[in-house]
Amino acid sequence: MTNHAQHFTSALLSRLRATAFAVALVFALTSFPVHLAQAQTFTVLHTFSGPDGAYPYAGVTVDGGGNLYGTTPVGGLKDGTVFKLRRSSSGYTLNPLYSFTGYGGPAIPYGGVIFGPDGTLYGTTNEGGAIGLGTVFNMRPPATVCKTALCPWTINQLYAFQGFDGADGGNPEYGEVAFDQAGNIYGTTRNYGPNGDGMVYQLSRSSGGWTENILYNFRGVNGSDGAWPDHNVIFDSSGNLYGTTSSGGLYGGEYGGGTVFRLTPSGSGWTESVIMNFPPPGSNVGVYLQAGLIIDQADNLYGATSFSSGGYEGGSVFELSPSSNGWELTVLYVFTEDNSQGPVGNLVMDNSGNLYGATYAAGAFGWGNVFKLTRSGGGWTYTDLYDFTEGNDGALPSGDLTMDASGNLYGTTQKGGSYGLGVVWEITP
C-alpha cells in the first residue's frame, strides 16, 4: 500500500488524543486566498489543529445552503470527527458534529459523509464496531432547536462488519455509501470476505434495523475479477452497479493492476463482470485504481489510475464508454511527472461536461495539484488550476472533489496547513 494509505504513527496519535477536546471546539475561518489564472481564486476555508480533527482523507459534501460536511480519521476526543463548516456572509465557521471515541462504537472514518433520502448524514468508519472491522453509521441533528454552535449530533451504528468469520467483509476504507430508490445502502469493504480480498454489500431495512446482503466477494489473486475495492459504487440508469478494484485482474504482474467491474441484478442475486482490466495491453492508462468512478447522463464512466504501468509516473484519467463490442477505453490525460502519484479521489464533472480532479503527489511542487480537463476539438485540454506547496495551503489532496451549483470547487488535503494536519479548500471561478 502507498504512503497515502499508511496509518499514522503511534506517537502522533498519542499527542493528538491527549489534546483536550475542550480547547477551541469552534474554529473560525482561516483564509488564505491566492489568485490563479482564468480569474479563479484559491482559499483555505479551515485549517485543522487537532481537537477539531486531523488528516482528512475524504472530501466534503455541500448542502443547499452552502454548508460543508466532512470527516477526519484522527483528532477530536480519540478516533476522528464529523464536522460541519457553516457558511455565513463573513466566511466559514467549523462546528464539531461528533467526535468518535471507539470503545465498541464507530471509529476512524476514512470515507466521507453524504445526505441520505431522509435528509440525514450517512457514512462509514474503517475501524470500530463489535470486532473492530468498521461500521456503517447514520447521524441526525438534535431533536430540539440548538441555540449554540456546540450541539453534538446523535449517531446510530447501523451495521458492524464481522469479517473475521470469513463470511463478511471488513474495513470500508475511502468510499462513500450509495442509495437506491428503495432506500437500500450499498458500499464496499477493502478486506476480508471468504477470499480475503473485499466485497460489495447491501444494507436493507429489516424489523427496525438493517440486514446485510453480500452482493459479491472478490477472488483477488485466485481469479481475474480484482482485489481490494477501495472506493464507492455507483448506479447507472438501468440499475447496474459499477466500481473499481485497486489490484487484481488479468494484467500487471502477480497481483494485477486493478479492474473496473459491473454488478447486474439477476433474479434474486447479482452477476459480476469485469468490463476493463488494467493496464490493457498497449495502453498507457496505468494501474492502481484507488479512486472510484463517476458517470454522466449517457452512462459513460470516468475514473483515474494512480501510477503508470512502470510505477514511476502519476497515472492517468480515463473514460469508459458502452459500445456494441463491450466497452471502449479512452485515455483522456497521462501524468508524466517522475516519482509522482496521480488521483486517489474521485473526479467531478461540471454542467458543460468538463472534468476536475486532484493528484495526490504531483504538480509543480510534488505535493499534489488541482486540474481541469476541458473538452476541445474532439479531445481534452489540461489546465493546472492550483499547485499545493505543503505550506499554509495544504498538501496531498486525497479526497473526492465536490462542486456546488455555482461552480465552486471544494476539497481537502491530508497534510499541510498551519499545523501540518490538513485543510479544507475552495476554488471559485
- 18 in a structural domain: no
Instruction: Tell me how many degrees the CA angle 235-97-31 measures, rounded to the nearest 5.
Output: 90
> If residue 14 lies in a helix (H) or strand (E), which one and from where to where?
helix 10-17
d(CA 168, CA 194): 7
Yes or no: say if 330 and 353 are a contact pair by the CB < 8 Å rule.
Answer: no
Beta-carbon contacts of 85 under 8 Å, excluding residues fewer than 6 positions away, are 45, 46, 60, 67, 68, 69, 70, 92, 93, 94, 95, 424
What is the edge-to-edge ordering of all strands in the sheet holding 61-62? 27-28, 91-99, 81-88, 68-72, 61-62
For residue 248, the cross-strand partners are 257
**Under a CB-based contact definition with an 8 Å cutoff, are residues 158 and 181 in contact?**
no
Report if residue 75 sits inside a domain.
yes
- The answer to whether residue 62 sits within a structural domain is yes
Domain-embedded: residue 255: no
- Residue 142 structural domain: 58-173+175-217
Q: 22: exposed, middle or buried (C-beta count within 10 Å: 0-12, 13-18, 19+)? A: exposed
Cβ atoms of 349 and 355 within 8 Å: the answer is: yes
Distance CA(164)–CA(345), nearest Å, equals 28
Measured between alpha carbons, how far is 411 from 398 in angstroms, rounded to an integer? Answer: 9
Domain assignment present for 366: no
Question: Exposed e or buried b for every residue in 11-21, given b needs 16+ CB within 10 A?
Answer: eebeebbebeb
106 DSSP 8-state letter: E
**Is residue 163 helix, strand or coil?**
helix
Please list the residues that pair with 370 across neighbouring strands: 358, 386
The tally of domains found in the chain comes to 1
Closest Cα partner for 293 from 327, 324, 326? Answer: 327
- Reported as half-sphere exposure (CB side, CA atoms, 13 A), residue 60 has a value of 27
* CA distance to 56, 297, 347, 362, 382, per residue, from 302 (Å): 24, 12, 8, 20, 15
Task: Extract the C-alpha cell encoding 35.
Answer: 489568485
SS3 406: coil
Query: Within the chain, which residues score under 50 in pLDDT?
Result: 1-35, 37
Q: What is the pLDDT of residue 329?
A: 96
Residue 101 inside a domain? The answer is yes
List of residues 6+ apart from 132 with CB closer than 8 A: 107
| pLDDT for the residue numbered 224 | 84
